[in-house]
Structure 1
Amino acid sequence: MGLKQAITPYLWFDTQAEEAARFYVSVFPNSRILTVARYSELGPGPEGSVMVVLFELDGMQFGAINGGTVFKLSEATSFLIDCKTQEEIDFYWEKLGAGGLYQPCGWVKDRFGLSWQVNSSALVEKAHADPATSRRVMEAMMQMTKIDLAVLQKAAEGA
């Protein structure tokens, strides 16, 4: 199965590409593994080991490659999850953060080292409102680890 979108993010792993892809498709709805390509006897990896995994997360295609220890994932690349409710924020926060690292302002690094922004477009809209609202919302968010939409709504209202 070939790629169907113009730009496809590829994630670099040491040897955990398939494990990571299977974890991600278990977390996000409407997700699946598309293909798993394995190294042949011609290498460079051990014959039969996973080389590349193509997968979809809620309809968006990704690739994961087992490239060895040359490169590591970092916060320099992250994926924002636009949550509509506090329940969604809580769900993704717990699922993706298990075995990983919870970070300020709604960021979480999963156990594979991939960074996620568990957030809401409602917050982004409030953060780009008039200067006074934006300041209050950003000040409230800077005090958070996991995003709390009720607190941010109060901040936006000036309460």
Structure 2
Amino acid sequence: MPRTVPCLWFNGQAEEAAAFYCSVFPNSRVTRVQPYPEGSPFPAPFGPGTAMTVDFELDGQPYTALNGGPEFTFSEAISMQIFCADQDEIDHYWDRLTADGGEESMCGWLKDKYGFSWQVVPSMLNALESDDPAKQQAVADAIFRMKKLDIAELQRAFDSA
């Protein structure tokens, strides 16, 4: 069992969100749905039988979704990084996670339709690390101009510096 498992707090959409995330990531599945028991005083908006927690895996990484109510919402202070092998993967995750009300941000960040933040990052970004300050600056400047990261443009910025 992993040492840490992210628990995402939802206001009634835990099952829906888990199913959505499982549809976006390969090798993913819902592993357990634990309903609120009869007579449960918390949370009041959800009736008996409503999912209290939903355990799921995204490409083997376990997560829990909790229907906790409206008291807490997501912020950019917590995000998940998705390291992508190529532009097709970046496009896939970007397009799927911004669909139906998601929001593009900058520098590869986005919020999905539930307000949760993701960073969609090319794995090759580490290969662009350099001791050359001009190359570092050129790549950083390119990233700052982008919403969805573009591998070809990042490589051009690196090569031209």
Q: TM-score, normalised by structure 1?
A: 0.93
- Which residue identity does 1:69 align to in structure 2? P
Listed as ranges, the gaps of 5+ residues in structure 2 are none
- Write the deviation string for residues 68-113 of structure 1: whole angstroms up to 9, x where unpaired: 0111011110011000100110110000000210111111100001
- Which residue identity does 2:137 align to in structure 1? R
- Aligned counterparts, 1:105-116, within 5 A: 105-116=107-118
CA-CA distance at 1:6 after TM superposition: 1.2
**Partner residue in 1 for 2:119:** 117
8 Å CA contact retained: 2:54, 2:66 = yes
CA distance in 2, matches of 1:116, 1:156: 25
Q: TM-score, normalised by structure 2?
A: 0.92
CA-CA distance at 1:129 after TM superposition: 2.0
SS in 2 for 1:34: strand
Tell me the matched-pair count. Answer: 155
- Which residue identity does 2:63 align to in structure 1? F
- Which residue identity does 2:64 align to in structure 1? G
4+ aligned runs moved over 6 Å, structure 1: none
Matched, 1:16 2:13: yes
**Partner residue in 2 for 1:71:** 72
SS in 1 for 2:9: strand
CA-CA distance at 1:121 after TM superposition: 2.5
CA distance in 2, matches of 1:124, 1:14: 37
CA distance in 2, matches of 1:92, 1:29: 11
SS in 1 for 2:160: coil
SS in 2 for 1:70: coil
116-125 or 44-53: bigger deviation = 116-125
Select the residue among 142, 145, 148 that pairs with 1:146. 148
- Aligned counterparts, 1:6-155, within 5 A: 6-43=3-40, 44-45=42-43, 46-98=47-99, 99-126=101-128, 128-130=129-131, 131-155=133-157
Aligned-residue RMSD, C-alpha: 1.1
Listed as ranges, the gaps of 5+ residues in structure 1 are none
CA-CA distance at 1:123 after TM superposition: 1.6
CA distance in 2, matches of 1:40, 1:80: 34
CA-CA distance at 1:12 after TM superposition: 0.4
- Which residue identity does 1:144 align to in structure 2? M
CA distance in 1, matches of 2:28, 2:57: 5
- Write the deviation string for residues 16-52 of structure 1: whole angstroms up to 9, x where unpaired: 0110000000000010000000011131242111100
